[in-house]
Chain A
Amino acid sequence: MSDTDTTYLLRGVRVLGADPADVLIRDGVIAGIGPGVSADGAEVVDAAGLIALPGLVDLHTHLREPGREDAETVASGSRAAAVGGYTAVHAMANTDPVADTAGVVEQVWRLGRDAGHCDIQPVGAVTRNLDGAHLAELGAMADSIAGVRVFSDDGKCVSDALLMRRALEYVKAFGGVIAQHAQEPRLTENAQMNEGAVSDRLGLAGWPAVAEEAVIARDCMLAEHVGSRLHICHVSTKGSVQIIRWAKSRGCDVTAEVTPHHLLLTDELVESYDPIYKVNPPLRTAEDVEALRGALADGTIDCVATDHAPHPIESKETEWSNAAMGMVGLETALPVVQRTMIDTGLLDWAGVAERMSATPARIGRLAGHGRPLRVGEPANVTLYDADVRREVDPVNMTSKSGNTPYRGMTLPGRVVATFLRGVPTVLDGKIQ
């Protein structure tokens, strides 16, 4: 890792796609922006043609440590995050042991700090051991050194309505938010893929859209009733979008995220029975994909979250119903968003910065991240080359796991450099 005192001059970079300028990074902050900025002794980075974005923030990353270090560790996951242009990620709580106490969240937080590639912000479980029945010590996790603000039983739905109400109310005391994995458990017993024509053809038990939508509708009503903040994880259906739009129009304080894979891939891919496409929530239809893109563009869906879910190869090279659910996503998120939102004209780069940095940082109450690239702000910066195209090959990935659904696909763009508080974690695409 470089010395924090090093000064960097990003020469000719496009800040949010504006005219090329020079950006000076010194002492961990942005010290100057403009044409012809210069500084003696600065290390010059030729950034001609590159886009500068505020360092990306992920609300939804599975780092697998503690418990499944064969799939990913905090260190390997934070390296993958840096390579993907992230400067902060929220580590989901469904580890083993579950991150449901101050001790576990502090452990994850320290591992992240020691690795130093990216800020690791632990998410706390809503219920003890994700049992869905007893609240975890939310306040202790909030008060811990990790300063937890996002609570989620992700992987499982908080399906008990009364418990969900209590959780929403309780976290108001410290500005927390409940991030709900919306999945009605009875409607999705044994579910294997999106319920519809493809599941019927393939003889795989269906996962109906209504199982997600019914929980979102209920939770929006609960959040509105008790005046709490609610966040909906990985929205995947058109109906969910409509419900969230309606809830926002009523004044409900609800935010929502969508994953890159739900913006690009459809359930038709499951025809291969290749479990690389097995994910929770499942890949949906082209109509859902279109609705999700539209909702991300118009702000109904607030942000992009990766739901990075690493698994070792043997968990995927098996029969569909035995295979693990999930896909890695940190290293491909920005390219997939470019392809689905920029190249389609649905968003500009300022819109991407909003949805992949500022908004997730705001939802997660993450000070120092998601800040605009302005003089005096922390130098969390991602330099991105939007003009290249690359074939995705799991062999070249930094994550410990290679379960990417984009294998063999050509995607646009490449993260050239990532700066965390002025220190490059990635330079020329390589981890530092």
Chain B
Amino acid sequence: MRHLLSAGDLSRDEAVLVLDTAKELAQVGDRSVKKLPTLRGRTVVNLFYEDSTRTRISFEAAAKRMSADVLNFSAKGSSVSKGESLKDTALTLQAMGADGVVIRHGSSGAARRLANWVEGAVLNAGDGTHEHPTQALLDAYTMRERMGRLEGLRVAVVGDVLHSRVARSNVLLLHTLGAEVTLVAPPTLLPVSVGTWPCAVSYDLDEVLPKSDVVMMLRVQAERMNDAFFPTAREYSRRYGLDRDRFARMPDDAIVMHPGPMIRGMEISAEVADSPRSTITEQVANGVSVRMAVLYLLLGGSESAIGNQEG
């Protein structure tokens, strides 16, 4: 594995290796000294064309815990906003000797394009409406931690699948890992060819809920409401929102996930979001471990992930 551009790039063995490595690395977070020498001397560039403080900080924390040098390259106020092309930026990073580039970009395929132009590893941290593979990995990690398995797990992914890079990556990865995914959304928010995807599809959340071990709620972007994808926020919420009544229809041990940031009330009621069966805060913590694992596997090399303890 040279880059991580799509969750579909991972074989089952590779995906399991990432999750196992993340588990190993998660222990570091429990230590008093939260730092490993593993990536000392390596340079990781966070190249963010879209604002996403959460994701950037997660990658930054992951890289720093393994002693990598981190450069944050935000598009705002940089030469990028003055019209420098992605290719020129890539050549600059190349000259700086970036070993890994974490890219967040509003354009689908930007990570793939960048991989043509840099020698270092490229990590897709979200490209347009295409993919967000480390989010899918941290979701899978969270499910495995909570439910103890992924094989045969019934996962409902609910909401704006059409515009969701998280949904795309999750469908691919969970299928690879043996889970059964059902996408639940109004037909306007499903891709036209969704019938060819390795998952089931339903328009009826109430019917799917009792058969779900995991319910993953997706973010609904405000602009969709103004563009006739559904009539009103109220109708959306009635048909696809996760409120207390619906929550009660889920199996007792089923969990609720959300990639955040969430719109409380519309997508998910506050009490569901804050319930012990919601994994929303764990997902954030697990994100760091999973991103450490991916960085390690792409940039690390021969040493064991934990390496030789120093200090």
Q: Which residues of A contact B (CB under 8 A)?
A: 192, 195-197, 199-206, 208, 272-274, 314, 317-322
Nearest-neighbor residue (CB-CB) of B161 within chain A = A200
Cβ of A197: which chain B residues have Cβ within 8 Å of it?
193, 196
> What are 10 inter-chain pairs, A to B, with CB distance below 8 A?
A200-B192, A200-B193, A200-B194, A203-B128, A203-B131, A203-B165, A204-B108, A205-B129, A208-B192, A321-B128
Pick from A203, A208, A318: contact of B108, CB under 8 Å: A203
A sample of 19 more A-B contacts (CB under 8 A), given A200-B194, A204-B129, is: A195-B192, A199-B193, A200-B191, A200-B196, A202-B109, A202-B130, A203-B129, A203-B131, A204-B130, A208-B192, A272-B112, A273-B108, A273-B112, A317-B85, A319-B107, A320-B109, A320-B110, A320-B113, A321-B128
Nearest-neighbor residue (CB-CB) of A200 within chain B = B191
Cβ of A317: which chain B residues have Cβ within 8 Å of it?
85, 87
Residue in A195, A196, A203, A206 whose Cβ sees the most chain B Cβ within 10 Å:
A203
Residue in A192, A205, A273, A317 whose Cβ sees the most chain B Cβ within 10 Å:
A273
Q: Is the CB of B192 within 8 A of A196?
A: yes
Q: A318-B85, A318-B86, A321-B128 are in contact. Are A204 and B109 (CB under 8 A)?
A: yes
Cβ of A202: which chain B residues have Cβ within 8 Å of it?
108-109, 130
Q: Is the CB of A322 within 8 A of B107?
A: yes
Nearest-neighbor residue (CB-CB) of A320 within chain B = B109
Q: What separation, in Å, do the CA atoms of A319 and B165 have in the docked complex?
A: 17
Tell me the residues in window 88-145 of chain B with beta carbons closer than 8 Å to chain A beta carbons: 105-110, 112-113, 127-131
Q: Is the CB of A318 within 8 A of B109?
A: no
Interface residues on B, range: 20 to 34
Q: Is the CB of A273 within 8 A of B193?
A: no
Q: Is the CB of B193 within 8 A of A196?
A: yes
Cβ of B110: which chain A residues have Cβ within 8 Å of it?
319-320
Q: What separation, in Å, do the CA atoms of A199 and B128 have in the docked complex?
A: 13
Cβ of A206: which chain B residues have Cβ within 8 Å of it?
192
Cβ distance B195 to chain A, nearest Cβ, rounded Å: 9
Q: What separation, in Å, do the CA atoms of A197 and B130 have in the docked complex?
A: 13
Cβ distance A188 to chain B, nearest Cβ, rounded Å: 14
Nearest 10 Cβ contacts at the A-B interface = A273-B109, A203-B130, A200-B191, A319-B107, A197-B193, A203-B129, A203-B108, A321-B107, A200-B193, A319-B110
Cβ of B168: which chain A residues have Cβ within 8 Å of it?
201, 203
Cβ of A273: which chain B residues have Cβ within 8 Å of it?
108-109, 112-113
Cβ of A201: which chain B residues have Cβ within 8 Å of it?
168
Residue in A196, A200, A319, A320 whose Cβ sees the most chain B Cβ within 10 Å:
A319
Cβ of B191: which chain A residues have Cβ within 8 Å of it?
199-200
Cβ of B130: which chain A residues have Cβ within 8 Å of it?
202-204
Q: What separation, in Å, do the CA atoms of A192 and B106 have in the docked complex?
A: 14
Cβ distance B188 to chain A, nearest Cβ, rounded Å: 13
Q: Is the CB of B193 within 8 A of A320?
A: no
Nearest-neighbor residue (CB-CB) of A203 within chain B = B130
Cβ of A322: which chain B residues have Cβ within 8 Å of it?
107
Cβ of B131: which chain A residues have Cβ within 8 Å of it?
203
Q: Is the CB of A319 within 8 A of B113?
A: yes
Cβ distance A174 to chain B, nearest Cβ, rounded Å: 43
Cβ of A204: which chain B residues have Cβ within 8 Å of it?
108-109, 128-130
Cβ distance A390 to chain B, nearest Cβ, rounded Å: 26
Cβ distance B108 to chain A, nearest Cβ, rounded Å: 4
Cβ of A320: which chain B residues have Cβ within 8 Å of it?
107-110, 113
Q: Is the CB of A319 within 8 A of B105?
A: yes
Cβ distance A203 to chain B, nearest Cβ, rounded Å: 3
Q: What separation, in Å, do the CA atoms of A205 and B113 have in the docked complex?
A: 18
Q: What separation, in Å, do the CA atoms of A276 and B165 have in the docked complex?
A: 24
Nearest-neighbor residue (CB-CB) of B106 within chain A = A321
Cβ of A272: which chain B residues have Cβ within 8 Å of it?
112
Nearest-neighbor residue (CB-CB) of A318 within chain B = B85
Nearest-neighbor residue (CB-CB) of A322 within chain B = B107
Cβ distance B181 to chain A, nearest Cβ, rounded Å: 15
Cβ of B165: which chain A residues have Cβ within 8 Å of it?
203
Q: What separation, in Å, do the CA atoms of A322 and B130 have in the docked complex?
A: 15
Tell me the residues in window 177-210 of chain B with beta carbons closer than 8 Å to chain A beta carbons: 191-194, 196-197
Cβ distance B204 to chain A, nearest Cβ, rounded Å: 22
Cβ distance B73 to chain A, nearest Cβ, rounded Å: 16
Cβ of B105: which chain A residues have Cβ within 8 Å of it?
319
Cβ of B196: which chain A residues have Cβ within 8 Å of it?
197, 200
Cβ distance A233 to chain B, nearest Cβ, rounded Å: 25
Q: What separation, in Å, do the CA atoms of A128 and B196 have in the docked complex?
A: 45
Q: What separation, in Å, do the CA atoms of A273 and B106 have in the docked complex?
A: 14
Cβ of B112: which chain A residues have Cβ within 8 Å of it?
272-273
Nearest-neighbor residue (CB-CB) of A321 within chain B = B107
Cβ distance A323 to chain B, nearest Cβ, rounded Å: 9
Pick from A192, A203, A205: contact of B127, CB under 8 Å: A203
Pick from B85, B109, B113: contact of A314, CB under 8 Å: B85
Cβ distance A396 to chain B, nearest Cβ, rounded Å: 23
Nearest-neighbor residue (CB-CB) of B169 within chain A = A203
Q: What separation, in Å, do the CA atoms of A318 and B108 have in the docked complex?
A: 12
Cβ of A205: which chain B residues have Cβ within 8 Å of it?
129
Q: Is the CB of B87 within 8 A of A318?
A: yes
Q: What separation, in Å, do the CA atoms of A317 and B90 have in the docked complex?
A: 12
Cβ of B87: which chain A residues have Cβ within 8 Å of it?
317-318
Cβ of A314: which chain B residues have Cβ within 8 Å of it?
85
